[in-house]
Structure 1
Amino acid sequence: MTVVGPFGLRVRDQALEADVQAALTAVEEGLVEATKSTVPFITEAAQHLMHAGGKRFRPLLVMLSAQFGDPHAPGVVPSAVVVELTHLATLYHDDVMDQAAVRRGVASANANWDNSVAVLTGDFLFARASQVLADLGPEAVRVQAEAFERLVTGQILETAGPGAGDPVEHYLEVIAGKTGSLVAVSCRFGAMMCGADEGVVSTLTQYGERIGTAFQLADDVLDIASDSHESGKTPGTDLREGVATLPVLRLRAHAASSRGTAADRELCALLDSDLATDEEGHARALALLRAHPALEQARRDTVRYAEEARAALSPLPDSAAKAALSALCDAVVHRAG
């Protein structure tokens, strides 16, 4: 059994391992080329988060999905470059919106330079992703455009809030747009580019949608439960910025129910205070959330989506690639503890 890629997937098949490792190496080379500019400062800013690492979860999904056809087809690696460039671009923009200081264990672009540089660098990466995408044909452009619309819609929904709707359901809709859409496209591109039939493309797209949601929910848990070494960012970043992720939403729902206690309501009040400037309050809120059943509930939600992803694979024939995609469900759950 061998660990493949920064995400830590364990692969039992040597041929699959060799294919995926070689393809991910080619993706890294493609990312370096795609982020170069004739202006040295733009290259430095565009490669800032790329060189900081990252799990390359989306390119890995492209490669595994491409195993259901010709994994060496010419569009496979470029499509993985497209999804990773798009993902990187969103990180630059997200960090500005969240006023985040750390990303992937290094200073965020907005902290390292300023908001304007971070936003414009994200735009530059979107432009480079579009250039690579244009060579993959009109269907690939359409698929990416639809996913990008969903991604932006998810961000807008998050900004607008749930209104009178159920906050948990609203949040899951946000996650499906912000994260699930691009992860689903990763699987779809891999299957499309390798020449898989339409049924396989559809199955892998459904898998990607579910594993993408599980992946984000695992990040929500990590933001509360991990240290900065595990998550690559300051623990409780979302709490500090007042972003209500699933553990917080589960806490609020519990506090508002007949099972809610005075301690639950006090914790909610603490979360509503200015944790961005209150270090003691932030530390106390983190400690209380780590001990609250809401965190375990969020872990169970993560497991549920991961198991739905695994179940979505059932129509596919047994293969090393299918086994690896199933193992990814376990890897995502493991991240959430």
Structure 2
Amino acid sequence: MTPSAPDARLAGKLSLTERVFAGGSSRRLLADVEAGLERVDRNLELELRVTDALADATSRYLYDAGGKRIRPMLALLTCRLGEGATDAVIEAATALELTHLGSLYHDDVMDAADKRRGVPSAHAVWGNSIAILTGDLLFSRASQIMGRHGDRAIRLQADTFERLVLGQMHETIGPEEDDDPVAFYLQVLSDKTGSLIAAAAQAGVIFSNGPEEYEAPIVQFGEKAGVAFQLLDDVIDLSADPDETGKVPGTDLRAGVPTMPYLLLGQRTDASSVDLHERIDEGVARIEDGAEPSILDIPLAELRDHDATQATLDLAHAWSREAVAALTPLPQGPVREALTRFADAVADRSS
């Protein structure tokens, strides 16, 4: 049943954990996942310690700023399909969260983002070079952790990291002349976001010695849920409430990074949509030449209320439904129910 608009808004205000573990039947599962997350956090605390004072400060910076720990949570859910939260599951979840953290340092440099998780971005504090090197350090540490668990873990880390890099590369260079911009962008989201979420969910099955036949559905689920998550992020990026999102509204577009609302706006042929698209392009060009980013405040507010943004939200829900459908081969029970709620929640949240 689709919730009413007020119910959907209320649900969007709940934390992801509250959404995923709603209902009394999930209490034991939630207790197990929380216990596992405490183990992951203890691991992260240890792995983020560096003897060099500067590297120690920069490595811990975004970790200390918070985060949803989505990827470890997924690994700790899917490991219930096998032997549970083994030491290998905890270590894999730690490595993939470090990989995610490292990617944030790089993304903020490339997108010229001012804030991350409600604090100044790392490159705003230490400069681009230190932020990039910090990301590299975290990637290295993640690889060291995976290296403790054999070829399968090394391949999972390497394949995921390759897709992260390719996704960022393709986002940077943009589509070729013959590419469909929307399809191209969806592939970028699948590589940059979906691959890591899928890897975390798959790791839970692999390192708990879960049934091999569950891996492919779990990977498909993670890819699609990851795209849904990022599409909703594109909507949140236009939010008028930076205190809630932790980001300046329109951060990506002000930096010239296309998002789905902008791409869908570009497909509209009516005069007002064409005019808005041109004004955004003009504003981005002026910002690149040194103008204040605030010159895009009005056009981005108009885009927030445009039907292209609603169409992006609809697309996020469609990918969420596909993620749920991918779970069909899994057995009925609390794990599948929680994963279903996760897919619903990532496409219907406020931050």
Q: What TM-score comes out, normalization by structure 1 length?
A: 0.94
Q: Matched residues, percent identical? A: 42
Q: Which residue of 1 aligns with 2:156?
A: 143
* Aligned residue identity for 1:204: I
Task: Provide the residue aligned with 1:257 in structure 2.
Answer: none
Asked if residue 24 in structure 1 is aligned to residue 37 in structure 2, the reply is yes
Determine if contact 1:4/1:21 at 8 Å carries over to the other structure.
no
The SS at the match of 1:335 is: coil
**CA distance, structure 2, for counterparts of residue 280 and residue 105 of structure 1:** 19
Question: CA distance change for structure 1 residues 226 and 190 in 2, over 3 Å: closer, same or farther?
Answer: farther
Q: Distance in 1 between matches of 2:246 and 2:44?
A: 21
Q: What letter corresponds to residue 226 of structure 2 in structure 1?
A: G
Q: Which letter maps to 2:215? A: V
| 2:213 is aligned with 1:199 | yes
CA distance in 1, matches of 2:142, 2:95: 5
The answer (yes or no) to whether the contact 1:9–1:327 under 8 Å persists in 2 is: yes
Q: SS of 1:36's equivalent?
A: coil
Matched residue SS, 1:168? helix
Answering whether residue 26 of structure 2 is matched by residue 10 of structure 1, we say no
| Whole-angstrom distance in 2 between the partners of 1:109 and 1:150 | 23
State the match for 2:275 in structure 1. 266
Asked whether the equivalents of residues 224 and 235 of structure 1 are also in contact (C-alpha less than 8 Å), the reply is yes
Does 2:224 match 1:210? yes
- Aligned partner of 2:174 among 151, 161, 164: 161
1:127 and 2:140 matched: yes
CA contact (8 A) 1:4 1:11 kept: no
1:4 CA displacement? 8.0
Offset, 1:70: 1.1
Deviation at 1:14?
A: 1.9
Gaps of 5+ in 1: 255-259
Aligned length: 330
Give, in angstroms, the shift of residue 9 of structure 1. 3.0
Letter in 2 for 1:168: V
- The 2-side partners of 1:296 and 1:145 are apart by 36
1:173-207 residue CA offsets vs partner (Å, 9 max, x unmatched): 11111111111101110110111111111111111
Q: 2:111 is matched with which residue?
A: 98
* Aligned residue number for residue 178 of structure 1: 192
Task: State the alpha-carbon separation in 2 of the partners of residues 43 and 8 from structure 1.
Answer: 34
Partners of 1:299 and 1:314 in 2: CA distance = 24
Q: State yes or no: 1:332 paired with 2:332.
A: no
52-61 or 260-269, which deviates more = 260-269
The answer to whether the aligner puts 1:235 opposite 2:241 as a matched pair is: no
- Checking the alignment, whether the CA contact within 8 Å between 1:4 and 1:20 is kept in structure 2 is no
TM-superposed CA distance for 1:281, in Å, is 2.9
**What CA deviation, in whole Å up to 9, does each residue of 1:29-85 have, x standing for no partner?**
111111101112211110000010111111111111111011132211111101100
For CA contacts below 8 A with separation 6 or more, give which structure has more relative contact order.
Answer: 2
Q: Which amino acid aligns with 2:246?
A: G
- The residue number in structure 2 matching 1:61 is 74
* Distance apart, 1:215 and its partner CA: 0.7
User: Residue 217 of structure 2 contacts residue 326 of structure 2 at CA under 8 Å; is this kept in 1?
Assistant: yes
Name the TM-score, length of structure 2 as normaliser.
Answer: 0.90
Amino acid at match of 2:273: D
Q: Structure 1: how far apart are the matches of 2:114 and 2:18?
A: 23
Deviation of 1:230 after TM superposition, in Å, equals: 2.5
Q: Is the 8 A contact 2:143 2:157 kept in 1?
A: no
RMSD between aligned residues:
1.6
Q: How many angstroms apart in 2 are the aligned matches of 1:9 and 1:269?
A: 41
Q: Which residue of 1 aligns with 2:263?
A: 249
AA matched with 2:250: G
Among candidates 276, 292, 301, match of residue 287 of structure 1: 301
Aligned to 1:80, which of 89, 93, 98? 93
Kindly state the Cα deviation for residue 145 of structure 1 after the two structures are TM-superposed: 0.8
> Would the aligned equivalents of 1:61 and 1:190 in 2 still touch at CA under 8 Å?
yes
Q: Which runs of 4 or more aligned residues in structure 1 lie more than 2 Å from their structure 2 counterparts after TM superposition? A: 3-12, 274-281
2:233 is equivalent to residue 219 of structure 1: yes
Structure 2 SS opposite 1:194: coil
